[in-house]
Amino acid sequence: MNIFRFLGDLSHLASIFILIHKIQTTRSCRGISFKTQAVYVAVFVTRYLDLFTTFVSVYNTSMKIFFIASSCYILYLMKVRFRPTNDPSIDTFRVEYLVGPCAVLALIFNYGYSVTEVLWSLSIFLESVAILPQLFMLQRTGEAETITTHYLAALGAYRALYIPNWIYRYFSEGYVDPISVTAGLVQTGLYLDFFYVYFTKVLQGQKFELPA
Amino acid sequence: ETAEGKKDEL
């Protein structure tokens, strides 16, 4: 564990708490893509199958359980508790265009031909593009509640912080995980436009609005 | 050393 990875994990935790807080205080999941949230459940479930076979640390196990549980809880909030505030008509990104190619990539690039390894690989690729339905929705509506942008910023910062972690691990342990690194760079790249608007507008106290 | 069999990241 190094400071970058720890801060990345904290940022990931923070993003989930911000999202739950947003939904509960506004009593609405307006502006949140259900498709993105559903993909996250798939990502966590497929990646953390090793929960039953491998023990790394109490930290590692607790975080895995938290990510699975909280992502399922968010789906519950969106589909049951605050269902009327969820508008599927603006959440139109075709998720099959993400899952299909990611499944093919996982079959080609993995660390071993076993069900768990291929699913692990799938989860890494899927995570890298999971935010697309959300960003697509943002682009369509052209604006976002400030709290939603804080959620997205924390979520984007999480994988971005893993990049210095991988550089650090390469030099300190000789550890390289090419699948995670490649996907992580793509994932962070997808946030660049968002980060630009977030830093130049939201953090200057303005509303998140995209130019027409 | 690669990530094979050593997945300690989240």
What is the per-residue pLDDT across A126-171, written as a single tens digit (0 to 9) for each?
999 999 999 999 999 999 999 999 999 999 999 999 999 999 999 9
Confidence of residue B4 (pLDDT cuts 50, 70, 90): low
Out of A54, A57, A111, name the one closest to residue B3 (CB): A111
Chain A / chain B CB contacts < 8 angstroms: 37
Sign of CA dihedral A184, A67, A78, A101: positive
A60/B2 CB distance under 8 A = no
Nearest by CB: B7 against A50, A63, A67: A50
Q: Is residue A100 part of a domain?
A: no
The verdict on A174 touching B (C-beta cutoff 8 Å) is: yes
In a domain, residue A168? The reply is: yes
Structure tokens at A130: 């999971």
pLDDT > 90? residue B5: no
- Exposure b/e, A52-64, CB count within 10 A at least 16 = b: eeeeeeeebeebb
Domain assignment present for residue A135? The answer is yes
pLDDT given at position A106: 98
Nearest CA-CA partner of A166 in A157, A155, A176: A176
Selection from A166, A173, A114 nearest residue A8 by Cα? A166
> A57 falls in which pLDDT band (50, 70, 90)?
very high
Locate A135 and state its tokens.
């960003």
pLDDT exceeds 60 at position B3: no
Summarize the confidence of residues A35-43 as an average pLDDT: 98
Arithmetic mean of pLDDT over chain A: 96
Total structural domains within chain A: 1
User: Does A170 map to a domain?
Assistant: yes
CB atoms B3 and A176 under 8 Å: yes
Share of residues in chain A with pLDDT > 90 (%): 96
- DSSP letter for A208, please: E
Instruction: Choose the closest CB to A180 out of B1, B3, B5.
Output: B3
Per the domain annotation, does A211 fall within a domain?
Answer: no
Q: Mean pLDDT across the stretch A31-46?
A: 98
Tell me: pLDDT of A52 over 80.
Answer: yes
Is A212:A141 a contact under the CB 8 Å cutoff? no
Q: Is residue A188 part of a domain?
A: yes
Helix A3-26 × helix A146-173 angle, to 10°: 160
Q: Note whether residue A161 is domain-resident.
A: yes
Name the helix (H) or strand (E) containing A143: strand A143-144
Check residue B1 and give its pLDDT. 44
Note the pLDDT tens digit of each residue in A69-127. Answer: 999 999 999 999 999 999 999 999 999 999 999 999 999 999 999 999 999 999 999 99
Contact B1 A175 (CB under 8 A): yes
Q: Which residue has the higher pLDDT, A81 or A211?
A: A81
Best of A44, A110, A111, A118 to disrupt the B interface (most B CBs within 10 Å) is A111
Q: Is the pLDDT of residue B2 over 60?
A: no
B interface mutation test: which of A10, A45, A175, A181 has the most B CBs within 10 A? A175
This model of the complex carries an ipTM of: 0.84
Q: For position A165, what pLDDT does the model report? A: 97
Contact A50, B10 (CB under 8 A): no
Domain-embedded: residue A134: yes
* Domain of A47, in residue numbers: 3-95+124-205
Once rounded to an integer, what is the mean pLDDT over residues A55-64? 96
Instruction: Give the count of beta carbons closer than 10 Å to the beta carbon of residue A27.
Output: 11
